[in-house]
Amino acid sequence: MSEHQTRVWRVNVRNQTLELEPVPETWQRLGGRGLLARILLDEVDPTCDPLGPGNKLIFAPGLLVGHMLSSTDRISVGGKSPLTGGIKESNAGGRTGLHMTHMGIYALIIEDLPEEDGFWVLHLSLDGPKWEKADGLVSLGVYETAPKLLEKYGDKVAIALIGPGGEMRLKSAGVQNIDKDRVPSRIAARGGLGALMGSKGLKAIVFDHAGGGKPPIARPEAFKAAQKDYTKAVLEHPQSATYRDYGTAAMAHMSDGFGALPTRNFSDGQFENVDDISGETLRDFILTRGKPGDPSHACMAGCTIKCSNIFAGEDGRIIVSPLEYETIGLMGSNLGISSLDMVGRLNWEANDLGLDSIEVGAALGVAAEAGLLEFGDGETALRLMGEIRAGTEVGRVLGDGAAATGEMYNIERVPVVKRQAMSAYEPRAIKGTGVTYATTPQGADHTCGLTIRAKIDHLDPQGQVDLSRTTQYNMAGYDTLGACIFAGFGYAATPDGVIQRLLSARYGWDDLPDNILQELGKQTIRMEREFNCRAGFTAKDDRLPEWMTREPLPPHNSVFDVPEEELDRIFEGIE
């Protein structure tokens, strides 16, 4: 294929067929999260069984993916969520988005259920699809699977794959992607999309972009100029430097300072041993221990932020890469664990199983409250990760997430919205983020609208709804562009509407509104809400758990008190 043609690639796993289709007109100004919402509304019955034949697994690169714009090559994965029962988009770094655009894949839509049980590797290239039985890979973790695939298909390919968790259809299973260094730890983690991929009988999808090339740019000079301005802004932004040095782990002290660090199953907002799991300590460990550790690592080619890290042990062996704040929060303080090495080991287990470390960390916190482990007892937590791997009943319930665990053991203090676990920002202390958790169509998720950096009183219920709305639109916009949320600092700091400049240069669009980011986000959330509404969601689902409105959170002894009437009005007029 000499000429770059962008098509929708439609795979049917029952017939093992691939059809290339022109991009429908109504899909043409969308990418990533927004495109997923459009496709799901157009093609999936919102009331279908998430693991049945009617659901579809979709990969969609964002609108700006394909050009190694710093931190802007993310892949959005979506479908009806096996965890929440609502719409789901989860995105990841790594290579998948970039390679798909180089192959001209506008969206990859995977349909139906396989004729027979078992797992396949789907190899996609410009020569068409190849289906191979995943013999020898089944039940292997992703760290063992990926090298075998790279050996077979060459190390230039991109790979999206699932671990044993996805094979078992666990509702915390995500879709792992290899990064620029071919490590399979870039997980589209949230909402159980790995279970959806498992239901389609796919252990891995290999994207071989040989013969492809960069997507066309309508006005190359204009694009280059905009890219330059943007890159400069990213590089110069003070936040980028913080992320480069400390990674997301820098948030540990910040959250603790706000009294918003989930501790012992969301029963406290401060952790007495926060110093032991902070970003500063993590950096210190990495620098002291030396290679192969690395405090500043990029997950995508061209990323100048490099918030990722490689965390190695005293023995000089890699424990996990990256170790992120949300994992530190959920598998560290939330479990009363104050050893970064232990958090890293738990994280590796979750990664290798292909599970969302937030969801599993929250489930373990609930399990601790149920008496399955003591807070602080990392060895038992590791043993429970082994139960997940073994597929025992206790393992399955933990692997199905915090809501399932709470239901099994009748624990009230379960930190979920729409059955999805909250991440490491306590909504009673950061109330704007609580509004986001409650009202985003995605289920509790900080990446849908984290408000912790706003210069306001986070304990005051006033104004949080407006703040959350703006932030949610921005985030949905970035997810539609394929931009990492940290790229947002750069985009926001670049003058002269750099997003408009990039989009119009890339596509030749001259009619973009000034507030394109907000518009993209708004239209995305509108579609997502429509899907959820058709799936049966109501205002009652846009709530934090009732106990958070009643149980005061130390140290501020605050409850979540943003009025329900305000929550109900957050998207007023969007339909």
Residue 182: left if φ>0, alpha if ψ -120 to 50, beta else—which one? Answer: left
DSSP string over 419-456? TEE--SS-TTTSHHHHHHHHH-TTSS-GGG---TTSSS
**Of residues 347, 424, 392, 440, the one with CA closest to residue 170:** 392
Q: How far is the CB of 572 from a copy of itself (least distance, A)?
A: 19
Using CB under 8 A as the binding rule, the residues of this chain from 518 to 537 that contact a copy of itself are 534-536
Question: CB of 362: closest distance to a copy of itself in angstroms?
Answer: 17
Choose one: 119-127, 239-247, 374-382, 394-402; the region binding a copy of itself (CB under 8 A). Answer: 394-402
Binding segment toward a copy of itself, per CB under 8 A, in 26-34, 243-251, 403-411, 466-474: 403-411
Site membership for a copy of itself, residue 404 (CB under 8 A):
yes
Are the CB atoms for 195 and 88 separated by under 8 Å? no
d(CA 499, CA 486): 15
Q: Which secondary-structure segment (H or E) carries 284?
A: helix 279-289
- Binding a copy of itself by CB under 8 A: which of 42, 115, 275, 412? 412
Q: Does 254 bind a copy of itself (CB under 8 A)?
A: no
In the region spanning residues 197 to 236, those forming contacts with a copy of itself, defined by CB under 8 A, are 199
Told to check if 115 binds a copy of itself by CB under 8 A, we report no
Q: Are strands 75-80 and 87-92 parallel, antiparallel or unpaired?
A: antiparallel
Choose between 259 and 443: whose C-beta lies nearer to a copy of itself: 443
Closer of 45 and 457 to a copy of itself (Cβ): 45
Q: Which of 470, 472, 458 is closest to 560 using CA atoms? A: 458
Task: Say if residues 508 and 553 touch (Cβ distance below 8 Å).
Answer: no
**Is the distance from CB of 259 to CB of 425 less than 8 angstroms?**
no
For residues 38 to 57, the per-residue mask of contacts with a copy of itself, x marking binding by CB under 8 A and - elsewhere, is: -------x-xxx-xx-x---
Which of 131/547 has CB closer to a copy of itself?
A: 547
Q: How many residues does the chain have?
A: 575
Which residues, 6 or more positions from 164, have their beta carbon under 8 angstroms from its beta carbon? Answer: 139, 140, 141, 353, 354, 389, 391
Per CB under 8 A, the list member of 76, 543, 544, 553 interacting with a copy of itself is: 543
Least distance CB 256 / a copy of itself (angstroms): 29
Bridge partners of residue 92, in order along the sequence: 75
- Residue span 263-302 as binding mask against a copy of itself, x where in contact by CB under 8 A, dash where not: ----------------------------------------
Q: Which of 159, 195, 499, 517 binds a copy of itself (CB under 8 A)?
A: 195
DSSP 3-state assignment of 140? coil
Task: Note whether 396 binds a copy of itself by CB under 8 A.
Answer: yes
- Please name which of 297, 367, 306, 377 lies closest in space to residue 336, comparing C-alpha atoms: 377
Is 510 a binding residue for a copy of itself by CB under 8 A? The answer is: no
User: CB of 77 within 8 A of CB of 91?
Assistant: yes
In the complex with a copy of itself, the residue whose CB is nearer, 51 or 328, is: 51
Q: Which residue of 117, 393, 572, 575 would you call a contact of a copy of itself, by CB under 8 A?
A: 393
Buried b (16+ CB within 10 A) or exposed e, 67-103: bebbbbbbbbbbbbbbbbbbbbbbbbbbbbbbbbbbb
For the CB of residue 568, give the shortest distance to a copy of itself in the complex, in Å. 12
Cβ closer to a copy of itself: 407 or 519?
Answer: 407
Q: How far is the CB of 337 from a copy of itself (least distance, A)?
A: 23
Q: Give φ, ψ of 357 to 5 degrees.
A: -70, -25
Q: In the bound complex, what is the minimum distance in angstroms from residue 111's beta carbon to a copy of itself? A: 16
Which residues are near a copy of itself by CB under 8 A?
45, 47-49, 51-52, 54, 168-169, 171, 195, 199, 392-394, 396-397, 400, 404, 407-410, 412, 534-536, 538-541, 543, 545-547
